[in-house]
Chains A and B, each alone.
Chain A
Amino acid sequence: MWKWLHPYAKTQNAYELCRRLQPWFVITALITFVVGMVWGLAFAPADYQQGDSFRIIYIHVPSAILSMGAYSAMAIAAFIGLVWQVRTAFMAMIALAPIGAVVTFIALFTGAAWGKPMWGTWWVWDARLTSELILLFLYLGVISLYASFEDKHQAGKAAGVMAIVGVVNLPIIHFSVEWWNTLHQGASITKFDKPSVAPEMLWPLLISILGLALVMAAIFIRRLQNEILRRELNRPWVQTLVSTAREK
C-alpha cells in the first residue's frame, strides 16, 4: 500500500489526482446532499413530540459528527506530515482546518436554534455544547498558529504539533465536561444495539451525513489544489499550468 501511496507525496501528483477526482466528488456530493436535505426537511415524518422543528436534526447531527471527523482527519494528516516528513500532508491539514471550523460553527449555531424552542434557551453549559465550543477554539488555534508564520513549511509543522496536542486532549475534554454537566440527550445512532430512531427518520439522516461528508470532501479537494498551487508557485509545472490556462 505504501508503494501505491508514495507518489502522491509529490505535490504535482497530488494535484493531478485531485483534479481527476474533483468532478466525481462534486456530482455525488450534490446528489446525496440534495436527496438527504429534501427527504429530511420535506418528506420525513414529523416528530410526535417536537413537531416539525425537529427537522433541524438533518443539519445539526451531520455537522456535529463531521466536525469531529474533520478534526481527526486533520490530526491524522498532521501525524503523517510530522512522522514521514510529507509536505503535502501539511497542505491537506491546513486545507481541512477552515472547513472543519465552519462545520463546527454550523453545529453550534443549529444547536442553539434548536435549543431555543426545545429547552427554552439559546445556550446552556451542557457537556456536548461545551466540548463542541472547545473544539471550535482548537480549530481556531491551529488556524491562527498557521497564519502567524511567514515560512509556511515551518507553519505546517507547528500547527501540526498543536493539532496533535488537541487530539490527545479531545477525549479528556469530552469526558471531563460530560462528567461536569449533562443535559443533552445520549447518543442515538452510534449505540451498538438497535438505533432508537425510527427507520423512516434514520435513513434521511444517514444520507444527510453522507451528503455533508461528500460536500466537505469536494470543498477540501478544491482547497488542497489551491493550497498546492499557492505554495508551489515557483515550480516549473505550476508555471506551465498557469501559462497554458492563460492561453486558453
Chain B
Amino acid sequence: MRDSLNAIFRRDLALAYRQRSELMQPMMFFILVISLFPLGIGPNPEILQKVGPGVIWVAAILSSLLGMERLFKDDFNDGSLEQIMLSATPLPMVVLVKVFAHWLTSIVPLLILSPLLALFLNLTEDMYWALLCTLLLGTPLLSLVGAIAVGLTLGLNRGGVLLALLLLPVFIPLLIFATAAVEAASLQLPYNAQLAIIGAMLLISLAMAPFAIAYALRVSQN
C-alpha cells in the first residue's frame, strides 16, 4: 500500500511540475486581487493595516477555489481516477495523498508569497507571524473540505461557480477565527486560542473529510 501511495504522490508532483503555467495562475490571481484593494479603498496605510488580514484571507480562499478544480479533473477525464478506485489501495488514503500533493503544489506557493503581500498591506511583524500561522493551519482545511465539493461537482460540465456557491459558506468560520487571530496579534494579545480552534477544525476534517471525499468521488463516478 505504501508503494502505491508513494507512486501516486510522486506522479501528482511530477504532473504539477509539468504544468507550471497552470500553477502560476492562482498565484497571479492572489497578487492581483490583493493589489486591487489599495487601489479601491485608497492608499492610507492605517486603513490598509486594518483590513489587511481579512483581505489576504479572502483572496487566499478565492484563489484556492480557483485552483481546486484541478484536483481530480484531469484524472477523472482520462480515466485514471477510475483505475485508482478499482485498485486495492483504500480510496480515502489515496485522496488524502492527492489532497496533500495538491496543497504542496498550489497552496504553499501562496504562503511563500505572503510576506510580499503583508508588505503591500502594511502589516506589522507580529501580525505577519500570526497570519502565517493561520494560513499554515487553515489552508490544509480549505483543501480538505474543498475536495469534498470538488468530488461532488466532478461530473458536471460547469462546476466552477457552483463550487464557490457550495464552499464559501462552509469556509466562514475559518475566515472569522483566522482574522480574529491576526487582529489579536495586532493588539499584542495572545492568539493561541484562535489557532487552537483552527487546529481542532483541521484535525476533525483530517479525520472525516477523506471518507467524504472518497464517497463523493464514488457518487460522481456512478
A138 touches B212 (CB 8 A): no
Q: Which residues of B contact A161 (CB under 8 A)?
A: 148, 152, 212, 215-216, 219
B156 touches A148 (CB 8 A): yes
B133 at the interface (CB under 8 A from A): no
Please judge, given known A-B contacts A141-B166, A154-B222, whether A162 and B149 are in contact too, CB under 8 Å: yes
A180 touches B176 (CB 8 A): yes
Q: Is the interface of A mostly helix, strand, loop or mixed?
A: helix
A145 touches B222 (CB 8 A): no
Q: Which residues of A contact B180 (CB under 8 A)?
A: 179-180
B73: min CB distance to chain A, Å: 16
Q: Which residues of A contact B149 (CB under 8 A)?
A: 162, 165
Q: Which residues of B contact A109 (CB under 8 A)?
A: none
Q: Which residues of B contact A148 (CB under 8 A)?
A: 153, 156, 162
B170 touches A166 (CB 8 A): yes
Q: Which residues of B contact A166 (CB under 8 A)?
A: 169-170
B168 touches A154 (CB 8 A): no
B156 touches A149 (CB 8 A): yes
Please judge, given known A-B contacts A144-B165, A145-B153, A165-B145, whether A154 and B173 are in contact too, CB under 8 Å: no
The complex places the Cα of A179 from the Cα of B176 at a distance, in Å, of 9
A134 at the interface (CB under 8 A from B): yes
In the complex, the chain B residue whose C-beta lies closest to that of A177 is: B176
Q: Which residues of B contact A165 (CB under 8 A)?
A: 145, 148-149, 170, 212
Which of A50-58, A62-70, A168-176, A208-216 lies at the interface?
A168-176
A145 touches B166 (CB 8 A): yes
B57: min CB distance to chain A, Å: 14
A199: min CB distance to chain B, Å: 38
Q: Which residues of A contact B166 (CB under 8 A)?
A: 141, 145, 162
Please judge, given known A-B contacts A137-B168, A165-B212, A166-B170, whether A144 and B148 are in contact too, CB under 8 Å: no
A-B interface contact total, Cβ < 8 Å: 71
A176 touches B152 (CB 8 A): no
A231: min CB distance to chain B, Å: 17
A176 touches B219 (CB 8 A): no
Give residues of chain B (177-222) contacting chain A, Cβ–Cβ below 8 Å: 177, 180, 201, 208, 212, 215-216, 219-220, 222
* A194-213 contact mask (Cβ, 8 Å, vs B): 1 or 0: 00000000000000000000
B65: min CB distance to chain A, Å: 14
A157 at the interface (CB under 8 A from B): yes
B107: min CB distance to chain A, Å: 20
The complex places the Cα of A148 from the Cα of B172 at a distance, in Å, of 24
* A120-149 contact mask (Cβ, 8 Å, vs B): 1 or 0: 000000000000001001101100110011
A169 touches B219 (CB 8 A): no
The complex places the Cα of A180 from the Cα of B153 at a distance, in Å, of 32
Inter-chain pairs besides A144-B162, A148-B156, 20 sampled, C-beta below 8 Å: A134-B169, A137-B168, A138-B169, A140-B165, A141-B166, A141-B169, A145-B166, A148-B162, A154-B220, A157-B219, A158-B220, A161-B215, A162-B149, A165-B145, A165-B149, A165-B170, A169-B173, A176-B176, A176-B177, A177-B176
23 A-B pairs with CB atoms under 8 Å apart are A82-B215, A134-B172, A137-B169, A138-B170, A141-B165, A144-B165, A148-B153, A148-B156, A148-B162, A149-B156, A158-B216, A158-B219, A161-B215, A161-B219, A165-B170, A165-B212, A169-B170, A176-B173, A177-B172, A177-B176, A179-B180, A180-B176, A180-B180
Chain A contact residues, CB within 8 Å of chain B: 82, 134, 137-138, 140-141, 144-145, 148-149, 151, 154, 157-158, 161-162, 164-166, 168-169, 172-173, 176-177, 179-180
